[in-house]
Amino acid sequence: MAALKLVMMTVLAASFLILVSFSSSSLAADNSSLTTPVSPKNLCKTIPDPSYCKSVLQPYNQTGNVYYYGRVSVRKSLSQARKFSALIEKYLRNRSKLSVTAVRALEDCQLLAGLNMDFLVSSFETVNKTSRVLSNLKAEDVQTLLSAILTNQQTCLDGIQATASSWSVKNGISVPLANDTKLYSVSLALFTKGWVPKQKKVTTWTPRGKQLGFRNGRLPLRMSEKTRAVYEAVSQRKLLQAAAATGGDNEVVVKDIVTVNQNGSGDFMTITDAVNAAPNNSLAIDGYFLIYVSAGVYEEYVSIPKNKKYLMMIGDGINQTILTGNRSVVDGWTTFNSATLAVVAPGFVGVNMTIRNTAGAIKHQAVALRNGADLSTFYSCSFEAYQDTLYTHSLRQFYRDCDIYGTVDFIFGNAAVVFQNCTLYPRLPMANQFNAITAQGRTDPNQNTGISIHNCTIRAADDLASSNVTFKTYLGRPWKEYSRTVYMQSYIDDVVDPAGWREWNGDFALSTLYYAEYNNSGPGSGTGNRVTWPGYHVIGNATDVGNFTVFNFLLGDDWLPQTGVPFSSGLL
């Protein structure tokens, strides 16, 4: 037996050396051309805005390589981000002279500018350490941050243009915003060119769907009896029972638990107070701070700020634990800050809750959830509103077994997001409106963002199904120039118009978008009468569509197991 173990260890070691040797030689091949000196003029030929790229890099060096210029660009980006943040602070110091809508738009920009500085500091630390192609995971991390910076810029600009009534604010903010956005695009392009592996994603593997979940969730040794009792009750009755029953060996680590109950029997009576009590800047290895929210209707606006990392919020179930608000653009809020629940901190997990915005169709943009949290997950939740229900704003997100209700653009944003086993319910819109399920907001070809809808169901909500008036429903429309959305292995009912997709404005983005369908079913899934835009595709190859699976698009096998949420890595 010992001899057999020795042989196996020898084989495994040899295999590992072969793999390392292969990977190293591949990386060396990637790096050979990247370390060669190149002029800014030649380097910028493949950048989205070559002339601007050249103007940024020309003053620095005529003999640098991709890595040198990439560091220059990211460093300059960080400097500009600090200047822009200071500019926003300057305007806000004079808030008494501004309209309420202008102040709210500037406060959005203030939050987003702070995130941009954080993301650029982290990105520069990486690019400053190495002049070689990175691993898939590390490259994905930085590309995600640089992609989110561009999204944050666009969000700030959209808010300023839509709500700031002051001409001086619009003019004073819009110009530096536009210039900085060009610079950030250069940084993203150079990072993609120098640090991201050419074959970043494994596109040929279609693994059997795995179910991962709670199994005797591990707790720290020092835990009060009260906390342990709450944990055991919640985990047995509420947490992913189906996933646990599969016998997966992954454990969900819980650091501490607090309870929210409106009758005063818990630790807190509001969700906000419980969030405030969570520790700051936890690490994934520390485990989750779990907030158990008992059944009830919570009328409050909840924000999970960037320092409340790895927070898990669990309710008593859809339509049992309900968080509700009614902010809207018509009532003077930006789309960004109209959300009932806004999540920014990385590692958030939401389970067994309903999130609502009750402003109604007449109030136009009114968000239920705004999610800009990296590596965030929602499981068995319902999101209910009309226009702009679910704002998948930025970074990497996963939704499983969720219900989403809405009308116009009711899933929108610029995250890298996968919806799996969810049900999407187009509702009854206002007269002369139509439904668009998605409005994806990718603005740059190097952003690793898009919406992937996998094994979901699209059917009319009850109000739309019973209406005597016919309203058209579309799979999506291009909010931004490089909009990207894929439907795969999903059931599409006849609520969806045969054309499938709708223009945003004339021929805007029709040749630069990427919309695709793969192996869907149902009466609305036929592709014979779909749009004929250059950017629309019917995918027949499992390898191509594999790029949009959890395994490839989110590298989800690396971070989803710790959440306890069930997921399928690949195609079904």
Round to whole Å and give the CA distance between 562 and 286: 12
Which band of pLDDT confidence, cut at 50, 70 and 90, is reported for residue 25?
A: very low
- 444 belongs to the catalytic site: no
pLDDT digits over 142-174, tens only?
A: 999 999 999 999 999 999 988 756 667 888 899
Give the long-range contacts of residues 48-51, CB within 8 A, separation 24 or more. 48/185, 48/189, 48/444, 48/445, 48/446, 49/182, 49/185, 49/186
236 has pLDDT over 90: no
How high is the pLDDT of residue 255? 87
pLDDT digits over 376-385, tens only?
A: 999 999 999 9
103 has pLDDT over 50: yes
Q: Could you tell me whether strands 423-426 and 403-406 are parallel, antiparallel, or unpaired per DSSP bridges?
A: parallel
Main-chain phi, psi angles of 509, to 5 degrees: 70, 5
Query: In this prediction, what percent of the chain has a pLDDT beyond 70?
Result: 84
How high is the pLDDT of residue 132? 94
Which range, of 78-87, 204-213, 281-290, averages the lowest pLDDT? 204-213
How high is the pLDDT of residue 242? 40
pTM here?
Answer: 0.90
220 has pLDDT over 70: no
How high is the pLDDT of residue 253? 84
218 has pLDDT over 50: no
Which band of pLDDT confidence, cut at 50, 70 and 90, is reported for residue 234?
A: low
Question: Is 552 in contact with 206 (CB distance < 8 Å)?
Answer: no
Work out the number of other CB atoms within 10 angstroms of the CB of residue 86: 10
How high is the pLDDT of residue 19? 33
Q: Which of 158, 403, 409, 497 is catalytic?
A: 409
Question: Is 409 in contact with 479 (CB distance < 8 Å)?
Answer: yes
Query: In this prediction, what percent of the chain has a pLDDT beyond 90?
Result: 76
289 has pLDDT over 90: yes
Type and span of the H or E element at 157: helix 136-163
